[in-house]
Amino acid sequence: MIWANAIVQGILLGGLYALFACGLSLMFGVMRVVNLAHGDFAVLAAYLALAIITGLQVPVLWSALVVAPLFAMVGYLVQRFIIQRSLDVSPLTTMLVTFGLSIVIQNALLTALSANSQSLPSGSLASASLQVNGQMSIGYVSAIVFATAVVVVIGLQLFLYRTGMGRQVRAAADDQEAASVVGVNVRHVYGVAAALAFATVALAGVAFGMYSSFDPAAGPPRLIFAFEAVVIGGMGSLWGTLAGGIILGLAQVLGAQVDASFGVLAGHLVFLVVLALRPSGLIPARVT
Amino acid sequence: MTDTAVPAALPRVTRSRRSATWTAGLGVIVVLLLISLPYLVHTNITGLLVNIFILLALATMWNLLAGYAGLISVGQQAYIGVGAYVVLVLAGNGVSPFLAIPLAALGALLVALPTSFLVLRLRNEYFAIATWVVAEAFRLVVLRFPSLGGGTGASLPGMAGMDPVFRQALTYWAALAVVVATLLAAYLLLRSRLGLDLTAIRDNEIGARSVGVRITQAKRIVYLVAAAGAGAAGSLLIISQLNVQATSIFSVQWSAYMIFVALIGGVGSIEGPIIGTVIFFLLQQWLSDRGAWYLIIVGSIAVVMAMWLPRGVWGVVSDRFDLRLFPVGYWLHAPRPNPVETPS
């Protein structure tokens, strides 16, 4: 029964990782860019949500309604003015530039807000849980986060495959030049994809702040977990990313069940094994 | 005159110009001066220079990976940590920490060999994050060994009986030896056939493969050399700090330092990291009482330079003055036009 509980908790934790990962997956799928500041932007979103909650006295879930659109705008601007410029220099430059951004954001947060860890006040939600039986309970927060991850993946799929803009995004992802020949404004479309990715980063940041405490240095581990989820699931496939997040969550929770300090290492080992055996991930990638 | 059939002079190809001879002469003078420094200045200054040398060694090795083999690593701290812990274990068994420095480099190389078979199969982003995850995995494994100090860290044995001034001078000379060895290794490696292979790979990987360049082998050699350099730097870190703590020695912050130094100075030249290290330390000293501000400023400068001046400060200087201190390329000297012979 302990193991059954661990499996359920692992799957739920996987929802958080999938939420972190789908923005990374989208940006890699469309622009071939891995934003190494991904985790730090999520932490930035968590701090912003904290400021909104304490400043406006609104419940935690409302703060996401402000932070997500704001981050969509930030994402569009970051894509147009920083990532696009680096892409024009060379694809490897985007990695160096976003890594630099990551360090700058971390240290700016550290200077402005100190290294103290914070958490988002979720009120009665934080401790509420559904008691399945004596040994298994499902926290409302983790259930909400998991459901959000599933909704985000479905929403992104619907956007990509059922809307005109989604078709343009897929076209630009397939062949940038051919897309621009037929009239797609590739740079704008990339900006839109980044805006969506950043909106999901904001949601992930708020979810992370409800899940656990965060501090300015919390970003890089989130990036690593997100990247692991994307690779385990197969780069560029959103359903794969959800599956990858769940596999990573399971590996970490089951590893921690063996030995409390083994959890994160178990996740890394699963990632490295997948990378060694199937560098393209477990689920074959689709177009986007 | 009948002997008009002067063979058309071929362009002459050389590897160095006069500037390289000057560099060699200047280099010897600078190194001799640096060797005598502990007799001339206070230990504060040599202590600072130890940190500069460690950073320069790290940045030179990172630049070898990124600037020549096209491998962007965010995980060189894995080998910094291995080097430091090799020194810790050997010192615990009675080996002098200073004699353990080459063994630390060798240890890092031996660990890098199996790792290279995993990470070198991967490209670009995959390679970058896989190296980072490997470093994280090393950190988590080290944390599981209480004999290595666990989370609180361990202090380096075998240094207690040593006179502090002598110890600091010895540390300084060791750091100087490591940095000179790193620069020489990078220079000789790039002037060898391997350097030519790497240039070919950098310019066009598929083209290089088609003319018979062994791409994976070339990249593996660079990866192993870079790991050995990082291991030597890690051994210097534990010797100069007299202790080691897993979370700080395996920190991704080291990668940030290397990347910022290389980006500011210039990726893809030996001179770049040298200039970058000097600029990095000047900024750090200037902003030393402002906490994390120096990383914000240095990081922003590096980001801006990567976007608008991808060849860094040295790229600008060497283009402007046509200067190469460490020539690893070839120079083509066009022949002087022969005086036209008029038949009599």
Per-residue pLDDT tens digits for B48-79: 999 999 999 999 999 999 988 889 999 999 99
Burial of B161 (0-12, 13-18, 19+ CB in 10 A): exposed
b/e sequence A217-242, b meaning 16+ C-beta within 10 Å: bbbbebbbbbbbbbbbbbbbbbbbbb
pLDDT above 50: residue B1 = no
Predicted confidence (pLDDT) at residue A19 exceeds the cutoff of 70: yes
Query: Looking at residue B131, what is its pLDDT?
Result: 95
Task: Report yes or no on B272 lying in a domain.
Answer: no
The answer to whether A196 and A26 are in contact (CB under 8 A) is yes
Question: Do the domain assignments include residue B282?
Answer: no
Say yes or no for a CB contact (<8 Å) between B306 and A93: yes
B267 CB neighbour count, 10 Å cutoff: 28
Are A100 and B140 a contacting pair at CB < 8 A? no
Nearest to B133 among A85, A107, A224 (CB): A224
Tell me A1's DSSP state.
-
Q: How far is A108 from chain B (nearest CA, A)?
A: 6
Interface of A with B in 237-276 (CB under 8 A): 261-262, 264-265, 268-269, 271-272, 275-276
The count of other CB atoms within 10 Å of the CB of residue B319 is 10
The average confidence (pLDDT) of chain A is 89
DSSP tag of A82? I
Positive or negative, the CA dihedral A218, A219, A225, A228 is negative
| Most A CBs within 10 Å, among B307, B309, B311, to test the A interface | B307
Judge: B296–A107 Cβ closer than 8 Å, yes or no: yes
- At residue A281, does pLDDT exceed 80? no
User: A280 and chain B: CB distance < 8 Å anywhere?
Assistant: no
Please give the full DSSP string across B90-141, using - where no structure is assigned: HHHTT--TTTHHHHHHHHHHHHHHHHHHHHTTS-HHHHHHHHHHHHHHHHHH
B215 belongs to a structural domain: yes
- The answer on pLDDT for A286 being more than 60 is no
Backbone angles phi, psi at B16, to 5 degrees: -125, 160
Taking an 8 Å cut-off on Cβ atoms, the answer to whether A34 and B132 are in contact is no
A89 touches B: beta carbon within 8 Å = yes
Average pLDDT taken over every residue of chain B: 87
The closest CB to that of B296, out of A85, A93, A111, belongs to A111
Decide if A207 contacts A148 (C-beta within 8 A). Answer: yes
Question: Which DSSP string corresponds to B30-97?
Answer: HHHHHHHHHHHS-HHHHHHHHHHHHHHHHHHHHHIIIIIH----S-THHHHHHHHHHHHHHHHTT--T
Range among A101-115, B7-21, B137-151 with highest mean pLDDT value? A101-115
pLDDT greater at residue B289 or residue A223: A223
The Cα–Cα gap between A228 and A242 comes to 11
Give the pLDDT of residue A140.
86
Mutate to test the interface with B, among A78, A87, A107 (most CBs of B within 10 A): A107
Nearest CA among B300, B310, B280 for reference residue B55: B280
Judging contacts by C-beta atoms under 8 Å, the chain A residues touching residue B121 are 276, 279
Contact B239, B51 (CB under 8 A): no
Nearest to A100 among B129, B253, B302 (CB): B302
Determine the average pLDDT of the residues in A65-75. 95
**Sequential DSSP letters for A217-251:** GGHHHHHHHHHHHHHHH-TT-HHHHHHHHHHHHHH
Nearest CA in chain A to B304: A97
A129 is a domain residue:
no
Which domain, by its residues, includes A44?
A: 2-121+134-277
pLDDT over threshold 90, residue B278:
yes
Burial of A11 (C-beta count, 10 Å sphere; 0-12/13-18/19+): middle
The verdict on a CB contact (< 8 Å) between B307 and A231 is no
* Weakest-pLDDT range from A165-169, B49-53, B322-326: B322-326
Helix/strand/coil for A122: coil
Please, are residues A101 and A82 in contact by the beta-carbon 8 Å criterion? yes
Which of A27-36, B10-19, B187-196 is least confident? B10-19
* A227 interaction partners in chain B (CB closer than 8 Å): 129
| Of B49, B108, B120, B115, nearest in space to B81 by CA | B108
The sign one gets for the Cα dihedral A48, A50, A52, A55 is negative
Position A128 in a domain: no
* Tally of domains in chain B: 1
The alpha carbon dihedral of B96, B101, B102, B105 has a sign of: positive
Residues paired with residue B154 on neighbouring β-strands, in sequence order? B244
CATH number of the domain that residue A180 is part of: 1.10.3470
**Residue B268: inside a domain:** no
Task: Decide if B11 is inside a domain.
Answer: no
Closest C-alpha among B169, B145, B166 to residue B92: B145
Q: B5 vs A31, which has greater pLDDT?
A: A31
- Best to test chain B binding among A99, A235, A272 (most B CBs inside 10 Å): A99
Name the β-bridge partners of B333.
Answer: B12
Q: Are the C-beta atoms of B112 and B86 separated by less than 8 Å?
A: no
Express each pLDDT in A176-201 by its tens digit.
889 989 888 999 999 999 999 999 99
Residue B282 token pair: 């000047």
Distance CA B76, CA B72 (A): 10
Interface contact A86-B307, CB threshold 8 A: yes
Residue B311 covered by a domain: no
CA angle A249, A252, A257 (to 5 degrees): 125
Say if residue A288's pLDDT is above 50.
no
User: CB distance B256–A96 less than 8 Å?
Assistant: no
Which residue blocks in chain A are alpha helix, DSSP H? 2-31, 38-56, 60-78, 84-89, 91-113, 140-162, 164-174, 176-181, 186-211, 219-233, 238-258, 263-277
Asked if B72 and B131 touch (Cβ cutoff 8 Å), the reply is no
Determine the pLDDT at residue A233. Answer: 87
Selection from A149, A120, A129, A130 nearest residue A16 by Cα: A149
Chain A residues touching residue B74 (CB < 8 angstroms) = 36, 99
- For the ranges A37-41, A152-156, B83-87, B266-270, the lowest mean pLDDT is seen at B266-270
Which of B47-56, B290-299, B312-321 comes out lowest in average pLDDT? B312-321
pLDDT in tens, B158-190: 787 788 888 999 999 999 999 999 999 999 998
**How far lies B38's CA from each of A32, B276, B281, in Å?**
51, 24, 20
- pLDDT of amino acid B334: 66
Residue A287 predicted with pLDDT over 50 = no
Contacts of A238 by beta carbon, 8 Å cutoff, 6+ apart? A22, A25, A26, A153, A156, A157, A288
CB pairs under 8 A between A and B: 112
In degrees and rounded to multiples of 5, residue B244 shows phi and psi of -145, 140
Task: Please write the tens of the pLDDT for every residue from B99-112.
Answer: 999 999 999 999 99
CB contact A91 to B (< 8 Å): yes
Instruction: For strands A129-131 and A137-139, give the pairing.
Output: antiparallel
Chain A residues near residue B256 by CB distance under 8 angstroms: 99-100, 103
C-beta neighbour count of B279 within 10 angstroms: 17
Would A287 be classed as within a structural domain?
A: no
- Chain A residues close to B276, C-beta within 8 Å: none
Q: Is A199 helix (H, G, I), strand (E, B) or coil?
A: helix
H or E stretch at B12: strand B12-14
For B13-33, how does the pLDDT look when each residue is reduced to its tens digit (9 = 90+)? Answer: 776 666 677 778 888 898 899
CB B75, CB B143: distance < 8 Å = no
Q: Is residue A127 part of a domain?
A: no
CB < 8 Å to A264, chain B: 136, 140
Q: b or e along A88-118 (b: 16 or more beta carbons within 10 Å of the residue's beta carbon)?
A: ebeebbbbbbbbbbbbbbbbbbbeeeeeeeb
Please compute, for residue B298, the number of CA atoms within 13 A of its CA located in the half-sphere on the CB side: 32
Within a domain: A42: yes
Residue A83 phi/psi, 5-degree rounding, is: -70, -40
Q: Which positions in chain A touch B287 (Cβ < 8 Å)?
A: none
Each residue of A218-253: pLDDT tens digit? Answer: 999 999 999 999 989 877 688 899 999 999 999 999
Angstrom CA distances, B29 to A236, B11, B26, B36, stand at 56, 34, 5, 11
What's the number of domains chain A is made of?
1
Say if A121 is an interface residue toward chain B (CB within 8 Å).
Answer: no
3-class DSSP state of B292: coil
The answer to whether position B12 is within a domain reads no
Spatial contact of B264 and B313, defined as CB atoms under 8 Å apart: yes
